[in-house]
Chains A and B, each alone.
Chain A
Amino acid sequence: MLASGGSSTFTLRYFDFPSRGEATKVLLLLGGAEWEHKVPAWPQERSLQPVGRLPVLIEHSASDSDDAPFTLSETAAIEYYLATKYGYIYQPTDPKCVARQLELRAHICDMYTAFAEWKLGPNEVASKNKKIFNTTAGCVVRFHEQVLKENGSNGHYFGSTTTLVDISLFTNILALRTAFSGLDPDMLELLNSDNAPEMNKVIDAVSAEPALASYVAELKKL
């Protein structure tokens, strides 16, 4: 069922577990978009995706022809597109500020990728990948805790309202905690509220967004 609001409607094709598609969902919810989540049969429908991967965002607009909606792959491209559309890039006309936001988002995504490669990669590289994750996460936590303190420890990376980097941290950390905690709970201690207090304030701040109440409630059930 499509949630309503706005001249475009969206379809998000993604799996039915929390992972790389979560930031896109949150942006659609915060933006008040009319959208639906479709779970492709996998791997049967892999070849129907732009490069055989998910997520894929499809924007249906009244000005597009029915057989040519705007279809976009790649989380970075999708998130930046929606964040720009719905005003979740901080100071979007300042190239340095935008670059800083993309840099911080890339750190967070690299941390997620390092974790996924450790837990889902071949056994022959598990030990090496675990080291890479711990090193990556350690560096990211140190750097990001400082950035958040410099912004006033208010639960936001920039300014005083939720923007893309806040959303990226919220979704990536929650996806890690939800999808992987059952495998090895201790491995995420580096990201808990004792070791990363400022980052956890960001998670709390985004969780408190009224538009995300149902979304957060569903995540807690997992």
Chain B
Amino acid sequence: MTNTTTFTLRYFPVAARAETCKALLFFIGAEWVLEVPEWPQEKGAQRVGKLPVLIEHSTSDAEPFVLGDSRAIEEYLATKYNLYYQPDDAQLMARQRELRAHMHDIYELSALIIHAPELARPFFISKYLALARCVVDTHEKVLRENGSNGHYFGNTTTFLDIAALAGLLTFRKTFVHLVPELLTPLDKTNAPEINNAVEILSKDPAFASYISALETCSNAE
């Protein structure tokens, strides 16, 4: 009997922390659905009261595999679908995880800014701008050293590329309405390689469904 795997991704109906998870599911061509729990009524039913949660339904397993935390979900999908570059090279794997963590840190600071009261925003904005400048410098260098071909490593799409695409497109969609200055370190003037990479990746038909879904998704408030 052929093993069939389908996924449920539980998350809010907004473009926020689960975007790379969604982009990964679209990119790998997985059969999946977005399930939006009643909130906060169903908070207690989640693993540690947080979203996203990924549920993998496989005909070969007695019970579904349930996983919380966006970082663990991404790691699982990237590993399962062989989206890391040269996974047998421990240092390269560490480098890819490091670069992904940089993007995550910028996202977390942006979330703090968006949810902070007006008086507290300058504190977080200055931290965000300092970190974003350093992260952009590092990532620009990696992309240049890889030949400015639209990929962080090699010449095919890997996990980092997917995370960069989802991250930048989500930032553009969200920040232009909420806190526009957060986009400045990531614009074409300050981050030409990152923007070039996302432009190249956006043309890949494998991302068409993801980009279409993102365009119709609500913004996180």
Which of the residues B65, B72, B94, B134 comes within 8 Å of A106, measured between beta carbons? Answer: B72
Asked if A103 and B69 make an inter-chain contact with CB atoms under 8 angstroms apart, the answer reads: yes
* B79 part of interface (Cβ distance < 8 Å): yes
A residues in contact with B72, CB < 8 Å = 99-100, 102-103, 106
Complex: chain B residue closest to A105, CB-CB: B72
A34-85 with Cβ < 8 A to chain B:
50-53, 59, 70, 72-74, 76-78, 80-81, 84-85
Asked if B98 and A84 make an inter-chain contact with CB atoms under 8 angstroms apart, the answer reads: no
* B1 part of interface (Cβ distance < 8 Å): no
Q: Total contacts A to B, CB within 8 angstroms?
A: 97
Asked if A53 and B76 make an inter-chain contact with CB atoms under 8 angstroms apart, the answer reads: no
* A182 part of interface (Cβ distance < 8 Å): no
B60-77 with Cβ < 8 A to chain A:
65, 67-69, 71-73, 75-76
A residues in contact with B101, CB < 8 Å = 74, 76-77
* Interface of chain A, main secondary structure: helix
B104-159 with Cβ < 8 A to chain A:
105, 112, 116-117, 119-120, 123, 130-131, 134-135, 138
A78 to B95, CA, bound (A): 9
B residues in contact with A121, CB < 8 Å = 120, 123
B residues in contact with A125, CB < 8 Å = 116-117, 120
Asked if B98 and A73 make an inter-chain contact with CB atoms under 8 angstroms apart, the answer reads: yes
Interface residue ranges, A against B (CB under 8 Å): 50-53, 59, 70, 72-74, 76-78, 80-81, 84-85, 95-96, 98-100, 102-103, 106-107, 117, 121-122, 124-125, 135-136, 139-140, 143
In the complex, the 10 A-B pairs of residues with the closest C-beta atoms, listed nearest first: A99-B76, A103-B72, A74-B101, A77-B98, A81-B94, A51-B134, A124-B120, A77-B97, A139-B49, A139-B48
Interface residue ranges, B against A (CB under 8 Å): 47-50, 65, 67-69, 71-73, 75-76, 79-80, 90-91, 93-95, 97-98, 101-102, 105, 112, 116-117, 119-120, 123, 130-131, 134-135, 138
